[in-house]
Structure 1
């Protein structure tokens, strides 16, 4: 809220949560209740007033490195700035990550991914992480990584959903786009992916 409007409404109970407006209103009412006569005068900014021009120039010079915090007047403002800075730093750290999950979901913003079917939810989460029983069960068995029987290459989620040429027609039949980020982050595609895995008889192994 503009500070001038705060003064204009000092005699009214503020309907918003601006602590400055509430503080002005409370002090105004306290003085009125003990029969003080008040005149609230709005002092214009530095425009056209030499002394104020100099004061404004000095204030800007002192706060030139604090531009991001210059508009903070409430706790809500501070929380918004902190949240923004934390997400910005988190994103920078995440962008240095070379994990399978980063390739699928490069943003730290949460996925709006709601599926009522538990089986589908579990399968999609494991595929996004890039670790499934089908592709990484060998770690528990202390054996060699499984190979694709058609390509003789290491079996991974990416290979199954994107790279294996033997399944290219089947992927197209089930509407997969051949892009992990697109296929695994859109709830509408979850049914297509599970149906594709069912057609390979491996969904139960994920």
Structure 2
């Protein structure tokens, strides 16, 4: 648009906004006004005026580069201002994640769902993928006990409160106690009612939250109960049922089953000497020694199993095939926190892997390995940090008298700061 300012006649004002042009002409005589406006329109309509002869745009003599893509507010647009480029980038970013989800989902046969040699569990499908519909009745959650009981209250205080609520509010209802249990690789769920006890052993990948939710769902399937009260010590499950935003399939099933029925959920403290809760806890613990029920598990538990399997496989590789000198510095595969200063982090990384310019520059220069001018031995990271007598004063000054590389090169922020200051004091910082 810039050539328009050069081709329109003098006395014509031009206002530009995006691709809109406003021509303003002033004159006392109508004939002159018409003549100037016609000349301005003719000049603006000239194709040469609308097309810039140069592709360069400069600001303070600096050329602004052209790009075929523009990213603004998280959206990528191409030169035609459509979303094809954005959709392509999102698709590429999600491709790997989609492959993982397909691998752990219920779309492949069980025998093919494998990762790092471990068979993955079947994933439970979600009844819904959004929040609870707005017109659905809200589940009835009773928090009276939580309001009356404080953490650390003795059982002698808790039991009368619960007995009072049971006799005053739930005396005409059927009361069921539920509980979940997890220990190492065994998971159990149990429910108890006078004359009734049920328990199930769940797949080992299920969490305690899932065990508690399964126990509540199991209580809702007990037949021939019209007015039901479920007492549980899992406040997290009750909060998930109440909020209506849970993506846990068993929580969503609890909401669906309880809809249209007379069901109330009540929180009680665990291990407070309540007989029904103790019996449900006993059944849940006994269930862990029973045969496991082959059922699909929630996706969040499956993802946790995937991460655990990958971590286990990674640890096996780290301890079996990696150089022992690296394990001397880093004992596990968990990620360490990086320093904010890039130069400091680069120095620390080189020291931890044992490859620095001071110790390995001879490989590039094709010269013999360097020897310490004080001790007469070949220079390496262990010698410089722990043993060289030349730097004893600098070590004492910065309190870096460690006895092992693991302690000297660990991920403790204070130790890292002392080590970096020691390197600077010894004039070794820039040599790494």
**Common fold by TM > 0.5:** yes
Q: Structure 2 CA distance, aligned partners of 1:129 and 1:117?
A: 19
Cross-structure match for 2:129? none
Q: Which runs of 5+ in 1 are unaligned?
A: 33-37, 41-55
Equivalent pairs, count: 174
- Over aligned residue pairs, what C-alpha RMSD do you find? 3.1
> Are the counterparts in 2 of residues 151 and 164 from structure 1 also a CA contact under 8 Å?
yes
Offset at residue 156 of structure 1 (A): 0.7
> Are the counterparts in 1 of residues 400 and 419 from structure 2 also a CA contact under 8 Å?
yes
Q: Structure 2 CA distance, aligned partners of 1:13 and 1:198?
A: 56
Cross-structure match for 1:21? 251
Q: How does 1:3-18 map to 2 (within 5 A)?
A: 3-6=214-217, 7=220, 14-18=244-248
Comparing 103-112 and 92-101, the one that deviates more:
92-101
Q: Structure 1 CA distance, aligned partners of 2:364 and 2:244?
A: 63
> Are the counterparts in 2 of residues 174 and 192 from structure 1 also a CA contact under 8 Å?
yes
TM-score, normalization: structure 1?
0.70
Q: Structure 1 CA distance, aligned partners of 2:371 and 2:295?
A: 59
Bigger strand share: 2
Q: Which runs of 5+ in 2 are unaligned?
A: 1-211, 221-229, 231-237, 264-286
Q: Structure 1 CA distance, aligned partners of 2:401 and 2:334?
A: 23
Partner of residue 418 from structure 2, selected from 192, 197, 203: 192
- Structure 1 runs (4+) deviating above 6 angstroms are none
Cross-structure match for 1:203? 429
> Are the counterparts in 2 of residues 72 and 78 from structure 1 also a CA contact under 8 Å?
no
Q: Deviations over 1:135-186 (max 9, x none)?
A: 1111111221111111111111111001223323421221113232122222
Comparing 186-195 and 126-135, the one that deviates more:
186-195
Pair 149,79 (structure 1): closer, same or farther in 2 beyond 3 Å: same
> Are the counterparts in 2 of residues 13 and 25 from structure 1 also a CA contact under 8 Å?
no
TM-score, normalization: structure 2?
0.36
Higher Cα Rg, which structure: 2
Pair 165,73 (structure 1): closer, same or farther in 2 beyond 3 Å: same
Q: Structure 2 CA distance, aligned partners of 1:201 and 1:13?
A: 60
